[in-house]
Amino acid sequence: MTDILTIMRTSTVIPVLVIDDAATARPLAEALVAGGLRVLEVTMRTPAALDAMAEMKKVPGAIVGAGTVVSTEQFEQVMAAGAEFIVSPGLSQGLGEVIVRSGVPFLPGVATAGDIMRGLDMGLTNFKFFPAETSGGIKALKALAAPFYQCRFCPTGGITEASAPDWLAVEPVECVGGSWVTGGTMAEVEAKARAAAALRG
């Protein structure tokens, strides 16, 4: 994968994964990939995250990235662990410029016009709209996207299986992030992943 837009277009839904036990990571990745969701975002919210990424990268077809990256120290850690893309909840100039210079596919979080303009200044045009539901939902994203016609989005935060189709119907939305696909047995996860992968025909 050479760019974030290609990665965004690979999966209709990007599972947002909070892994507490690295031993569960590989079976979870296998179930998600088997269901058709190849792009996996492992959030840096638990001590097991780095080991979980390493386990998931063993799964053929999986594209494993790091989410909730908020510092250059974390960025260095996830790159050492083999992250194939980076997702951050917001966009700071310091961290953003370091990631952009590295050339690693980067999906920073934005919620305002100022956030997007900061990203454009860095040469970025693909963003995570976060937190999607509490930042005004679909109406807010449509209003934001209008003046930034060149930008594409992955809304994340509060999106459910029921609301995902409405988000995916918004023209500049390439994919959505969600955690609803991750619960239950591995057979249930695979079934949820298959249903999610089919949300956009």
Catalytic residue numbers read 41, 128
Q: Distances in Å between the alpha carbon of 200 and those of 30, 164, 175, 177?
A: 22, 10, 9, 14
Give the up-direction half-sphere exposure of residue 56: CA atoms within 13 A in the CB hemisphere. Answer: 36
Helix 25-34, helix 49-56: angle, nearest 10: 50
The SS3 of residue 57 is coil
* Closest by Cα among 13, 20, 56, 24 to 159: 13
Amino acid letter, residue 162 = A
Cα separations in angstroms, 128 against 20, 60, 144, 198: 24, 26, 13, 21
CA–CA separation, 60 and 32 (whole Å)? 12
Counting Cβ atoms within 10 Å, is residue 34 exposed (0-12), middle (13-18) or buried (19+)? Answer: middle
As beta bridge partners, residue 126 has: 152
